[in-house]
Structure 1
Amino acid sequence: MSHETHRSLEKDGFRAFLSVDDGQVVLRSRRGTQMAPAFPEVVAGAAQLPDATALDSELIVWNTAGRLAFEQLQNRLHRRGPAALQAATQQPAHFVAFDVLRLAGTTTLTWPYSRRRAALEELFRKHQLTAPWALCPSTTDPDTVHEWLTSWTAAGLEGVVFKRLDSLYRPSARGWLKYKVRETTEAIVGAFTGPTTAPRTLLLGRYDTVGSFQYTGRTTTLPQTVGRTVAGLLTPAEACHPWTGWSFSTGWGSRETLDVALVRPELVVEVGVDVARDASGRWRHPARWHRARPDLSPTDVTLFNSPG
C-alpha cells in the first residue's frame, strides 16, 4: 500500500452525510441532526445518484461576493417548508463530496482511500453529476497544495485536510487531519474578561473608515503570565468608551453574554487568526495571542473589514 498523503480543500461549511435507498434520502450532520427538511435542493438532487449510495461531504453556501457564507448556511438549518424552498432558491447549498461509504449497494468502508477516491471520481464521471453535487478537489502534489493555500483562501477556504491513501474509513474515528491557514495581524484591545490583575481573554477591535471602533473578535484564553503582563498595559475606560452599553456573546452564534471590563482602546496587540469571517467581517474563531505591540498606535492598525 502507498503511504503517500492525499490532500483536499478544507471548506467553511457543515460536515454532512447523505444516503439514498429506494428513493428515501437521509441527510444528517456529524452529530446525527436530520437536515433534509432544511435543504430540499439537496434532497431533490439525490435523483442523480444511483440507489443504495452514501456519501461523506461538506455542505456549503456561497454569497454574492463569491465567498463562503457560513452564517447563511447556519440560518438555513432552522427553515422548513416554503421558507426552506425559498432559501434553496436564494441561497442554494452545494454538497461537496470527498468520500464514498456505499456505492450502488456495495459497502466501501474497507477499501483504502485511494480506491474510494477513484470510485467517487468515477461516480461523478459516469452519472455526470451537476449541482448541487460538487467533487472536492484533491491532490498528492505539494506544489498544488501551496497554490491552493495562497490563492483559494481569499474565498473563505480555511485550509486543507489530508489523510494517507491506504487509510480505511472508520466511522467513529476522526480520519482527516487539518491544516488551517493562519496569519498574524494587529488589533486594538477594547475590553477584557476575567480579573483586572490577569485578564483571561481580550476583546479586540478596529476602527472603520468613518472612525467608529468596531468589535472584530476575542482571543483564546491567555496564559496567566501573559495576562499579568497585559494587565499592566491596560487603562480603565472613561464613561465615553465607544462600546459603552454593548453586550458580547460568549461565542459565535451563542446568546450567552460575557461579563467584560472596558479599557481605553489604545493597546495594540498581534494575534493569529484564520480566514473564517462572518458577514460583518468579524473573526468567527478566537484569535490566538502572539504578543503586545506597545510600539504601535491604533492608527497603525488595518481598518475594520479591510484585508489583513
Structure 2
Amino acid sequence: MTTLPVGADLHYEPKLDGHRLIMWRTEDTVRLQARPRPDGTANDVTANWADLALAGMQLPVGVVLDGEGVVYVNGRIDFGAVQSRAKSTPARARLLAERRPGTYAVFDILQHPEWGDVRGWPYVRRRALLERLLDEYGIGPPIQAVPTTTDVGLARVWYDALQTQGVEGLVVKASSSTYRGGSRQWKKVRHAETVDAAVVGYTGPAARPRRLAVRLPDGRTTLSQALKAPLAAQVALLLASKGPARRAHTIGGDAYSAVDLGVVEVLAGTTRHAVVTVTRVR
C-alpha cells in the first residue's frame, strides 16, 4: 500500500487527469495558456478551450488562476477527450466542446485585482483567497475549486476510491508553501509514478511507428520500449503533419528518425535503464 506523507501542516488535493492551464482575466477577454512548447515558446490554447474562456468572463479583471482543464465522459475524467481538444483545430474544438464540455478545476490563485501578485503568500492564505473570490462572484461550474483536506484519512479514501473516476493520485502541499519555485514544493503521490520526456524522434515507418526516441529529464536520449497499438496510432497522427525527418542516433548508437513531437509520460522506474516505457502522449 502506498504511504501518504503525514504532517500537521499538510493539505491534500486530488490530482486530476487533464491538462494544466493558466487562466488570465484581462480587461477585454480571457486567455488560457498550457505548459510551454518543447522549444520554450508560449502555448496559447484559448481557442481549444473556448468554453472555459467564456466561463472565465465571470471573473473580475486582473485575476490569474492555475488549474486543470478536464473533460468528463460518462461521469469519469477522460484524458483522451482532453487530448482531442488539445490536438484539434479551433473549429473542431468548438464541436467537441458542444458534445463534451470542459471543466476548469482550479487549485491556485496567482494574482488578485485587489491584492496583486499573491504567489509569495503561503498556500493556506492563497487557498482562502481563492475560495472567497469564487464565492463573492458566484462562480460555479464549469469553474470550480478542487477539493482540499487536512484529514489524512479522507485523503486516503480519495486516493483509493477515485482512481476509477480519472483521478491520478494526490498532490500534497504544506500550509506555508509559496507558489514561487513551481510545483517542486508540492509532492505528487500517483498511482503510477511518471515523468515527462521530450519526444525527439521515432523508429519504424511514420504510418506505424515502433518506438519513440525520448530525451529524459537527466538529458539522456534513448529509445522507448515498443509502442502499443493505441499509442502508435496517436503518434502516427502527429507524424502525419510533420515534414521529412533526418537520421540521428542515441548516445548508445541506436538510429532513429529525428522529429520534434512534444512530450510523453514515461514510467519513472524505467528511466534508469536503456529503454523506457511510454504510458501516454501529453
Instruction: State the TM-score bracket (shorter-chain normalisation).
Output: 0.5 to 0.7
Amino acid at match of 1:123: L
1:58 CA drift (Å): 0.7
User: Is this contact kept in 1: 2:33–2:43, CA < 8 A?
Assistant: yes
Does residue 84 (structure 1) correspond to residue 81 (structure 2)? The answer is no
Q: After superposition, where does 1:5-44 map in structure 2 within 5 Å?
A: 5-31=10-36, 32-44=42-54
1:171 CA drift (Å): 5.2
SS at match of 1:62: strand
Change over 3 Å in CA distance of 1:108–1:251 after alignment to 2 = farther
CA distance in 2, matches of 1:140, 1:130: 23
1:78 CA drift (Å): 3.2
SS at match of 2:65: strand
Map Cα deviations across residues 156-193 of structure 1 (whole Å, 9 max, x no partner). 2111001111011115563321001259xxxxxxxxxx
1:13 CA drift (Å): 0.5
Match of 2:129 in 1: 119
Amino acid at match of 1:14: H
1:149 CA drift (Å): 1.4
Match of 1:152 in 2: 162
Amino acid at match of 2:235: S
User: Is this contact kept in 2: 1:159–1:178, CA < 8 A?
Assistant: yes
- Structure 1 unaligned segments of length 5 or more: list them: 184-202, 204-245, 258-283, 290-308
Change over 3 Å in CA distance of 1:163–1:251 after alignment to 2 = farther
User: Is this contact kept in 2: 1:61–1:70, CA < 8 A?
Assistant: yes
User: Is this contact kept in 2: 1:3–1:166, CA < 8 A?
Assistant: no
Q: CA RMSD in A?
A: 3.2
Change over 3 Å in CA distance of 1:247–1:107 after alignment to 2 = closer
CA distance in 1, matches of 2:232, 2:12: 30
User: Is this contact kept in 2: 1:3–1:164, CA < 8 A?
Assistant: no
User: Is this contact kept in 2: 1:252–1:285, CA < 8 A?
Assistant: no
User: Is this contact kept in 1: 2:29–2:57, CA < 8 A?
Assistant: no
Match of 2:3 in 1: none
1:153 CA drift (Å): 1.4
TM-score normalized by the length of structure 2: 0.64
CA distance in 2, matches of 1:170, 1:3: 22
CA distance in 2, matches of 1:157, 1:173: 18
Question: Which residue of 77, 80, 84 maps to 1:68?
Answer: 77
Amino acid at match of 1:254: V
Q: Indicate the structure with greater helix content.
A: 2
Amino acid at match of 2:127: R
Change over 3 Å in CA distance of 1:51–1:170 after alignment to 2 = same
TM-score normalized by the length of structure 1: 0.59
Q: How many pairs are equivalent?
A: 203
SS at match of 1:94: strand
User: Is this contact kept in 2: 1:17–1:29, CA < 8 A?
Assistant: yes
Map Cα deviations across residues 107-137 of structure 1 (whole Å, 9 max, x no partner). 1111111100000111121112122201100
